[in-house]
Each structure stands twice: as C-alpha cells, then as structure tokens.
Structure 1
Amino acid sequence: MSDTPPEIFDRAARRLRRDRAAPGYAEHEFLRATMLDGIAERLDAVTRDFTDILDLGCFDGAFVAPPGARVARCDPGFAFASRTAGVQADEDRLPFADASFDLVVSAGVLDQVNDLPGALSLIRRVLRPDGLFLGAFVGAGSLSALRGALRVAEGERPAARLHPQIDVRSAGDLLMRAGFALPVADIETLDVRYRDLGRLLGDLRGMAAGNILTHRQPLTAGILARTFAAFGDAASEGDRTRETFQIVFLTGWSPDPSQPKPARRGSATASLGAALGR
C-alpha cells in the first residue's frame, strides 16, 4: 500500500488546459498582470541586484526582469514553455540544481499545485543563500459570487467544482515550514464586474484557471442554467455582478548568516511596565 497522499489536481488536465489557453491568453491576462504589478512593487523596494532569475509559471513571459539579469522560464504547460524558450515542469517537480538562482518569481500558479509545501521547499533549495522569493496566487475568499451562484443552483450539497483556496495566514505558515527567513504574506483585493456568468467562465478558461480537480463532476444543463440565473440575480450597479479575487502575495528569503535575527528572548533592557509609564 502506497504512502503517497492522493493528488487533488489532475496534472494531465492542467497541462491540457494551459495549452488550450495559450493562443488567446493575452485577452484574459488581467489577473496575472495585477499580480506582476504587485511583485514589481515589492521588488523595487529591495536595494540589491539580481543576476539569475527563475520565472516559475511563466505563462507568456510577461515578467520583466531587471536590466542585465538572466531569466530562466518554467511552466507546467508545453505551449507556454515553448513560447518563452523555457522548461516544462510542475512546480513541485523542479528540474533545477540547488542554489541556481538569486531570485524566484511566481505569479498565478501556486494555487494549482498538488504539493505546495514541497514546491515551496524546492523554491528555497534552488535559491542561493540570501536569495529572494516573490510569489502571488489566488487565495481564500476569491470567486465568492460564483460560489454563491453554485450553492443556489445545487442546493445544500453542491459538488466540488472550485479549487480549495489558501488563506493569507496559512500561506505565511507554509513559508515558515519551507524554511524561508523573514517570511511575509499579505493580501490585495481585485473586484471585477461581469455582465453575465459566461464572461467570467470565459476569463477563467482563458487564464487556465478552470476546474482541474482530480474528481471532476460535469455540470448538467439544468444546474448550469440555474447557476447563470443566480449569478445574474446578484447583479447590482449597471446590471453587472461583482466578482472578487483575493490575491495572496508571498515574500521570503533563503537563509543566510548576514540576515537580521530576532532578538534573543530576555535580552530587552527596558521593562514593559516602564514603557507604559507604570
């Protein structure tokens, strides 16, 4: 009997969905573009140079590296990998040697990884000491309008049709478990207004974010019609329904002796009572 836990996501379906999305991806890349903007802001705040960078989950190669840096690109899908002269590989099965990069960026893929703790550990391993990881993915609280419409359409016991989502606190814990130093996880909200459910589903397919659960159940015509109606009933301003994407950003450093350390317990020189004026 195998000790390997069952996989949540269908790896073959994921590769196929990414290859299907590749030709028209530019029409649906707004969510990853927002993630890359956030990563660029965080990178701008770092006062050091990076020479060897891994773009993990590269899609169309939109990540712009600092001048003079070498960029290796990697994607689970063949079409995206070949378009960017990159390597095709899953994030929890990286083919790179330890300490190959001083910066790893990943936008829009870590929420579809079977072994996310393992993937984060591999990211830390391919970083050099004092290397930086910057990541972003869709987190808990996202697609609340779609979830609500599916609950209305399917009643009290809806089938699993949307991926499990990671909240920001759990994301920070995962960074610590993977061995990152100075871990930070924070969240930003992006609201998008849709005139109908078809446009939302089209965006999800177009950004390779459709259902790739291992145990998928097809939507019957009746359930789909009720879901469309419930999504439309949630419309407000301008007859559009607001859908929410919660973007979790991750920042972590590969450990190095030069990094600041938390103060040793009991080393304070002033008491809390004195600070409070007691």
Structure 2
Amino acid sequence: MATTELFDRALRRRRRDRAQPGYAAHDFLRAAMLDGIAERLDSVTRPMVDILDLGCFDGAFVPPGSRVIRADAGFGFAAAARGVQCDEDRLPFADASFDCVVSAGVLDQVNDVPGALALARRVLKPDGLFLGAFLGAGSLATLKPVLLAAEPDRAIARVHPQIDVRSAGDLMMRAGFALPVADIETLTVRYSGLGRLLDDLRGMAATNLLRGTPPLTRAALAAAAQGFAARADPDGRTPERFQIVFLTGWAPDPSQPKPAKRGSATASLAAALKEGGSAS
C-alpha cells in the first residue's frame, strides 16, 4: 500500500462497518443520488441486464429486470448485500462483464479516482453505460469555515478535497469514456445544531478519512458548535449545502455517434452571422 495515498483505506473500511447497522436513518443523500441515477437510466431504451452496484451501501438500488452484482469497500455493507468487498480502484471483475456500472456516494472517498473510472470503463461491455454520483465541490460550505475558525492556531484539513463538475467531466474523458456528461444538483438541509450534522456524516460513513488528521479537541468542537449556531436562520436552524455531481458516460463502441470532422460543415459561420444580423 502506498504511503502517499490521500485516504486511509483501513479507516474507511472501519467507518463503513460502523455506519452499516444504522445506515437507513442517514441515507437521504444516497437516496437523492439514486433517484437521479434512476431518471437517467430510465431514458435508456435498451435493457441493462447485468449491472454492477459499485459502493452498494445497503443495496437499495434495485432496477427492475436486471441482475445486480453488489460491491462495497466495507465488509458489513458487502456482506449484508451478499456482495463483494473491494475498493473502487481495485476491482476484481473481468473486463467487459457488465452492461451498466452504477456508483453512488463513494467516488469522493477513493484514492485513485482516475483509476477507478478507468476500471469501471474496462469492466463495461462495449457501449456499456456508467452512471455515477458523488459529493462535489461546494458541499459542506457551512461546516468548512466553522471548523477552520475553531482551530485558529493550526491549519488542519478536516473536509475532503472536492471535485468540481468541470474536473469531473475531464476525469471521464481521461478514463476513456465516450459521450461523457457531468452535471450538478444542489440539496440544502437545515440542522438544529452541529451535532445533528455530524451524526448524519457519521451515519452515512462520510466523516474525515484523510491520513494523519488529529482528532478534534473538546474546545475546538465546542467552538465549532458555537460558530455553526451563529450561522442559523431566525428559526434556529443552520442550512448546510450538499452539491451532488452526476456523471454519465459510455464504454466506446463503433456504433456510437462521432463528432463531425473538422472542415466538414456545409455552411460557413461568417455567412450564418451575416444572415442573422440582417434580420435585426
């Protein structure tokens, strides 16, 4: 295992095992991701028979008429879903095994995101579909400054680095997906206090996995709670933002549409602009 990895793999497995028994009480983010993925999957006209649920959590993704293989980095989630325990950037599946790979709520915790996407493309059959969703840049916009202000004497990263939607699209292209699309949806949740937010993050296995991060002191936690409360609306609830990045891409296949070759246009841009200007 490389010592330069950003996230602690063993800690991630333990955190997922801790979250597994009570996950149903904190699954709202992944539920929103799965709703978006289901909408995108419904727009596909051909059947997706063999599907890999990569980062399966409680196995809530149940598309009708499909055979689903579950995989999760945590033993508890994998065992409960009768799936395979594996990291997303270390897949044990053969190339061209699946019609569709779905990954909801885990790519923001993977050490090698480009590698994980490339492996997802490899296990897809030609013209297979990848549908992903994860927390992206702009998430936890209230928590981040509150934690920084609570520890003014030491600059410690306590929130994971986040991928923005443009970079996500670039990663899809780098991984070799055809026709990649990345878009974003925002979900705002209002909390009665910092403790409730932290309970949700623990319950969904989304707490800090960065290597070498010391625990929060009691004084820092109290200061963070005060700072969070100070940002509350008049009703006493503090809004927190979650930015969900959705990814869609296809394993390359000769049948897919190709962009027009350079110079193949039948009308010039200058002529179109001239025609448009004469109508004003």
TM-score range, shorter chain: over 0.9
Deviation at 1:262, TM superposition (A): 0.2
Superposed counterparts of 1:55-134, under 5 Å: 55-67=53-65, 69-134=66-131
Select 1:44's aligned residue among 42, 46, 49: 42
* Counterpart secondary structure, 1:239: coil
Select 1:220's aligned residue among 204, 217, 220: 217
2:147 counterpart residue number: 150
Coordinate RMSD, CA, aligned: 1.2
Q: Indicate conservation of the 8 Å contact 1:150/1:158, yes or no.
A: no
Select 1:177's aligned residue among 166, 174, 178: 174
2:134 is equivalent to residue 137 of structure 1: yes
Deviation at 1:227, TM superposition (A): 0.3
Deviation at 1:33, TM superposition (A): 0.1
- Quote the Cα distance in structure 1 between the aligned partners of 2:176 and 2:239: 38
Deviation at 1:157, TM superposition (A): 4.8
- Quote the Cα distance in structure 1 between the aligned partners of 2:244 and 2:228: 22
* Counterpart secondary structure, 2:142: helix
Kindly provide the CA deviation profile for residues 176-204 of structure 1, in whole angstroms up to 9, marking residues without a partner as x: 00000000000000000000000000000
Q: Indicate conservation of the 8 Å contact 1:161/1:217, yes or no.
A: no
- Quote the Cα distance in structure 2 between the aligned partners of 1:144 and 1:248: 15
Identity, in percent, stands at 72
Select 1:14's aligned residue among 12, 15, 20: 12
* Counterpart secondary structure, 1:102: strand
Deviation at 1:42, TM superposition (A): 0.6
Deviation at 1:214, TM superposition (A): 1.2
State the TM-score, normalized to the length of structure 1. 0.97
Give structure 1 stretches of 5+ with no counterpart: none
Q: Look up the equivalent residue of 1:36 and give its one-letter code.
A: L
- Quote the Cα distance in structure 2 between the aligned partners of 1:181 and 1:227: 44
2:278 counterpart residue number: none
Q: Look up the equivalent residue of 1:87 and give its one-letter code.
A: V
Kindly provide the CA deviation profile for residues 120-141 of structure 1, in whole angstroms up to 9, marking residues without a partner as x: 0000000000000000000001
2:265 is equivalent to residue 256 of structure 1: no
- Quote the Cα distance in structure 2 between the aligned partners of 1:254 and 1:41: 20
Deviation at 1:156, TM superposition (A): 7.1
Deviation at 1:277, TM superposition (A): 2.4
Q: Indicate conservation of the 8 Å contact 1:102/1:132, yes or no.
A: yes
Q: Indicate conservation of the 8 Å contact 2:148/2:156, yes or no.
A: no
Deviation at 1:101, TM superposition (A): 0.1
* Closer/same/farther in 2, CA of residues 268 and 19 from structure 1, 3 Å limit: same
Deviation at 1:217, TM superposition (A): 1.3
* Counterpart secondary structure, 1:188: strand
Q: Look up the equivalent residue of 2:58 and give its one-letter code.
A: D
- Quote the Cα distance in structure 2 between the aligned partners of 1:66 and 1:48: 13
State the TM-score, normalized to the length of structure 2. 0.96
Deviation at 1:48, TM superposition (A): 1.1
2:231 is equivalent to residue 234 of structure 1: yes
